[in-house]
Chain A
């Protein structure tokens, strides 16, 4: 846990976040900070609440206790939540969540038409921005294709382009690369690092400790709904070594949590 955090200043700050589903506490008093220009990987076994935390930061769910700030603005508490499109965040889902009825170009046009983020655009109009990202992600030749006509890697690149085109201050990534081969995964991470270097804060969710160590700046380990260990990759490696795997995954105690999530999830009104 990162101790007592203050909501002021830049970065995503979550403080004392608790989320219950029925009698089960999925997230218990979680606090963390994601700064601009860093990749923080939230690592933990399946069902420990990583995705739930990400959804609360994005604005799709409310905490039962705790507050979330983004760049000093209180965006979520148990009573109210700022609309997702006003939070200066973008998100890539595990299943990529591409729109089946839109072409590649229409995906980017639709995203850019709702542009409300902090304006770190490339200084061009919507069409130029769409062209820029199509070219950057090497999908300019696929403009008129639909998602079902794309390969796995092309879909990943489209999802990344759609997330980046608004130049969000923060990017939330829910294991989008889990199904990729190591070669493609490394290529995608290079793109993510380029975005990070452009002063974007990235919160990445994964259950793969090696991926977290290889590509992140900092790592936070979640165990049974709490953040157990947080720190820079080098520090954690030095302090815990290979024993970190046992510490995180041997003490699971989380069976049935994902089931409870499916059954008891409440409606969030947008």
Chain B
């Protein structure tokens, strides 16, 4: 990607004689991209942080249930979230003056899609706060003051990192702004490529955004200072629990309303738009090849992603050469900074120039590479967090009885890292099932994934079919998630 960008600068200037970075509409693109990402991040923070505090540090009713369902909005791909909300907005046009086809609409939908990442990181931060430092403060102050002055400031690196992560995810998102017709960088890249066939120019345009996101990635790394993104044992609260008094039920309703907005309403709208079971059945029957293909490429991409992240996470944690370890970490997180469309475009450009182009381009291999590359940071982050919780002592003591490093890795590291690997696998697989920005550019002729079929049908105005297919995809994702959750509990019960 970086190689393509650099060579693109040369070709674009010499070839076309113009440098798209200095064109006037760059300002509009930057403003829109920043406005959408900042707005969505604010919404994610305003939703995710209180939710995690209520779940983890208060006596809110149903907090055990919330701890299970808080990740549900992530299971709804942004395309489906947008499809639902455009339908809801259109049916509310006469009642409320809502313009969903705007920067604000885009920010709200992205905020709803990604706030669980802030919740997850905040929970991780809260779990990392030593219980004693909160309890000692309780000797002088009440729960609210201790929470605002001690707990949240100590968890701030995790919260801020969650915010940066959401900002980056929104800045590289193609589908939501595209459907809502908001001109942001990922959309502009796609337009440049598909309408003008100006691949290098499109990549060049993403440079300011990529630079900004790399800076943010660096900031996130500085803030976390080697802390794990996710803590082990996330099931149970570890800190003091504060009483909400008479506010227990109102707070519970407020938290429930977030899930109604992010999951229940969109689902209900999809069911309403589908209309009848016959429509659903017909769509499912006619989408079997796409479904099989989607699951196949998502599975292969996920396996490749995990296989790449495993040695990387191990080396990033255990290498004695700090610079090399840091470089491995940065390289694995870098795909977060690349817009989905730019990622697909770079893959096409790079592999087209390779001697392997006949094998990779025009086949499913490039799709698998796309998924593996795009979601590598999630697999890496999950496993790197797992590695941080494995003491080097465990390996050192094993080396006293076994001379084979491979055997120690297999018998000591892998079993301890397995929960992190499993979590990474589930996350990457689910994200791959809903990926569109890269798929759109790399998919070989004659092939279609479920999410791409939804996107295409949407442009034909086939609302019932779009809704039915969206429900079908959500069903697949939901079943996989439940299966994964039950498997996790069965395999690691009692751990």
A contact residues vs B (CB 8 Å cutoff): 55, 58-60, 83-85, 89-91, 93, 95, 97-101, 110-111, 113-116, 162, 166, 267-270
Contacts and interface: CB of A to CB of B under 8 A. Distances in A.
A113 B143 CA distance: 15
Nearest to A61: B135
B321 to A, nearest CB: 25
23 contacts: A55-B135, A58-B139, A59-B138, A60-B240, A84-B135, A85-B138, A85-B140, A93-B135, A93-B136, A95-B130, A98-B133, A99-B137, A99-B150, A99-B154, A110-B140, A110-B149, A113-B141, A114-B140, A116-B140, A268-B240, A268-B241, A270-B142, A270-B241
Nearest to A267: B241
Interface in B10-60: 59
Interface string B124-149: 00000010110111111111010001
Contacts of B243: 269-270
Contact of B139 (A90, A100, A101, A268): A90
A115 B141 CA distance: 8
A3 to B, nearest CB: 30
A85 B139 contact: yes
A94 to B, nearest CB: 8
B242 interface: yes
A99 B220 CA distance: 22
Given A114-B145, A268-B241, A270-B241, A89 B139 contact: yes
Contacts of A269: 59, 241-243
Contacts of B140: 85, 110-111, 113-116, 166
A99 to B, nearest CB: 6
B139 A97 contact: no
Contacts of B59: 267, 269
B153 interface: yes
A95 B139 CA distance: 16
Interface in B208-267: 237, 240-243
Given A97-B130, A269-B242, A270-B242, A84 B150 contact: no
A100 B136 CA distance: 13
Interface of B: 59, 130, 132-133, 135-143, 145, 149-150, 153-154, 156, 237, 240-243
Contacts, number: 73
Contacts of A59: 138
B460 to A, nearest CB: 54
B267 to A, nearest CB: 33
Contacts of B136: 91, 93, 97, 162
A166 B136 CA distance: 13
Contacts of A162: 136
Contacts of B135: 55, 58, 60, 84, 91, 93, 97
A166 B137 CA distance: 12
A107 to B, nearest CB: 10
Contacts of A114: 140-141, 145
A84 B132 contact: no
B240 A100 contact: no
Contact of A97 (B132, B142, B156, B242): B132
Q: Is the interface of B mostly helix, strand, loop or mixed?
A: helix
A269 to B, nearest CB: 5
Nearest to B139: A84
Nearest to B135: A60
A93 B237 CA distance: 21
Q: Which 7 pairs from chain A and chain B are nearest by CB?
A: A114-B140, A97-B132, A114-B141, A97-B136, A267-B241, A93-B132, A97-B133
A59 B139 CA distance: 9
Contacts of A95: 130, 132
Contacts of B133: 97-100
B125 to A, nearest CB: 12
A110 B143 contact: no
Contacts of A98: 133
Residue from A95, A113, A269, A270 with most neighbouring chain B CB atoms (10 Å): A270
A21 B147 CA distance: 27
Given A84-B138, A99-B137, 16 more contacts: A83-B142, A89-B139, A91-B135, A95-B132, A97-B135, A100-B133, A101-B153, A114-B140, A114-B141, A267-B237, A268-B240, A268-B241, A269-B243, A270-B138, A270-B241, A270-B242
Contacts of A83: 138, 142
Nearest to B237: A267
B57 to A, nearest CB: 10
B240 A270 contact: yes
A58 B48 CA distance: 32
Nearest to B143: A270
Residue from A85, A90, A166 with most neighbouring chain B CB atoms (10 Å): A85
A90 B149 CA distance: 19
Nearest to B243: A269
Nearest to B242: A270
A91 B130 CA distance: 16
B232 to A, nearest CB: 14
Contacts of B137: 99, 110
A90 B242 CA distance: 20
Nearest to A93: B132
Residue from A99, A115, A268 with most neighbouring chain B CB atoms (10 Å): A99
Contacts of A100: 133, 154
Contacts of B153: 101
A60 B313 CA distance: 39
A101 to B, nearest CB: 5
A57 to B, nearest CB: 12
A143 B281 CA distance: 71
A10 B348 CA distance: 81
Contacts of B142: 83, 85, 270
Contacts of A166: 139-140
Residue from B59, B136, B137, B143 with most neighbouring chain A CB atoms (10 Å): B136
Nearest to A147: B133
A101 B154 contact: yes
